[in-house]
Amino acid sequence: MTGIARWARLSFRLQRLEILLLGAAVLVASALMLWSAFQLGDLYAAYPECDFFDQTRACQAAGQRFSEVYGSAELIINNTWVVGFPLGLLLGVPLVAREVEHRTAQLAWTIGRSRVRWLVHRVAFAALVAIALLSLLAVVTEALASAMRGGQDTSQIFWLHGNRGPLIVGRGMLGFGVGVLVGALLGRQLPALLAGVIVVGALYWASWAAFPIWYENEAVVASIDEWVGEPLWVDSGIELTSGERVSWGEWLSMSGELGPWTGIDGAVYANQADAENGRNPIGREYILIIPGERYNEIVARETAVFSGVGAVFVAGAAAVTVRRRPT
């Protein structure tokens, strides 16, 4: 038996129940999504004349079936954004914590040439498993998203951004890194899992707040009345006649009145009467967007950020493992 096969077999045996259960869960979820994707594909192919989002009487029966399948597909794909975090945590937490909790760390760390080498071997296998499982989900969610749009190429639009594709893997790597570090710090699996949930929640919230600030510098200005595809919406507000940009909230705080009103010409008015008569506009509505053509670049960047932070946490876990007592 080669060294790699022995390493893989031993690593698998140490986490086999988790890997088998998580693998089964991912397979069931993937099968459900693929089934929905095929059903939607069949419906689009069988009724090319029907617009399922604006049904006519002739399409009612097929539309009913479409709504059912589309509804369940939507329910699944709207929740896939969160899947990476628990999967990563569940594979990362036990790597060090279980050895410490079972008091086998003393033996394992003494037999190994170094603790870092031992950890690298353990982390590498679990990370590969996490990447493999999440990559499957990433591919299947992309297929489902495309099927939900009748086979449309979804690589140039921000529709379902975060719920499909490689970002699921990136978030999983963040959860994995947090799990390894918190497990090494606490040395107890279940407390580490709870602490990991808190840390991951805080990091996700931080990313949710930080990414839009980052994108504000790169976003382009678009007018509300032009077709901009399906971009990443960053911000919106009013560009006053003076050229100053204010958000809706800032304008409301300044004026304290209802409105403002947007006229059919895209201009913004302070009150309804002005809007109806098209007089005294206070400015024009604007939106800040990242165009859909940059979808792949943005996804790659967010995935790299999440994975990079996860890698930093794994490095932190190595530092903790080197210094900590094995009990």
Partner 1 sequence: MIYARIGVAPDRGSVLWGSVLVALVSAGVLVTVAGMLVAIGDRSCAPSFSGAGCASLRQAFAPWEQAAQAFMALLWIVPTGLGALLGVAITAGELERRSAQVSWTLSPSRIRWLLLRAIPIGLVLLVMLSVAAGAAEVATRGRLLTDALGFHDYQLRSVLVPARGLLAFAIALAIGLVFGRTLPALLVALVFGGAVTGGVLVLVDAWHVTSASFLSLDDPMLQPASYPLVATPSSLAGADGRGILVISATEYWPWVLRETGLFLLASALAAVAAGSFLRRRVP
Whole-angstrom distance, CA of residue 228 vs CA of residue 200: 34
Q: Which is nearer to partner 1, 149 or 324 (CB)?
A: 324
79 or 114: CB nearest partner 1: 79
Query: What gap in Å lies between CA 59 and CA 66, rounded to an integer?
Result: 10
Q: Are 303 and 167 in contact (CB under 8 A)?
A: yes
Q: Per rule CB under 8 A, is residue 162 in the interface with partner 1?
A: no
Stretch that binds partner 1, among 16-24, 150-158, 214-222, 294-302 (CB under 8 A): 16-24
64 makes contact with partner 1 (CB under 8 A): no
d(CA 181, CA 317): 4
Residues that bind partner 1 (rule: CB under 8 A) add up to a total of: 29
For residue 97, give the H/E element and its range. Answer: helix 94-101
Residue 110 amino acid letter? T
Stretch that binds partner 1, among 55-63, 235-243, 250-258, 297-305 (CB under 8 A): 250-258
**198 belongs to the binding site for partner 1 (CB under 8 A):** yes
Q: What span, in angstroms and rounded, lies between the C-alpha atoms of 233 and 105?
A: 49
Per CB under 8 A, 324 contacts partner 1: no
Residue whose CB is less far from partner 1, 143 or 178: 178
Cα 189–chain centre separation: 25
Specify the residue, 94 or 281, whose C-beta has the smaller distance to partner 1. Answer: 94
Q: Which stretch binds partner 1 (CB under 8 A): 34-42, 131-139, 186-194, 293-301?
A: 186-194
The smaller minimum CB distance to partner 1, of residues 143 and 268, is found at: 268
Residues facing residue 221 across a β-bridge: 288
DSSP state of 228: -
Pick from 69, 147, 178, 193: which binds partner 1 (CB under 8 A)? 193
Residue from 34, 197, 305, 315 in contact with partner 1 (CB under 8 A): 197
Strands 220-223 and 267-269: unpaired
CA distance 90 to 190: 10
Q: Which residue do the tokens 């080669």 mark?
A: 2
The single residue among 26, 29, 73, 93 that binds partner 1, judged by CB under 8 A, is: 93
Q: Is the peptide bond before 260 cis (omega within 30 degrees of 0)?
A: yes
Binding site for partner 1 (CB under 8 A): 17-18, 21-22, 25, 90, 93-94, 101-102, 186, 188-191, 193-195, 197-198, 248-249, 252-253, 255-259
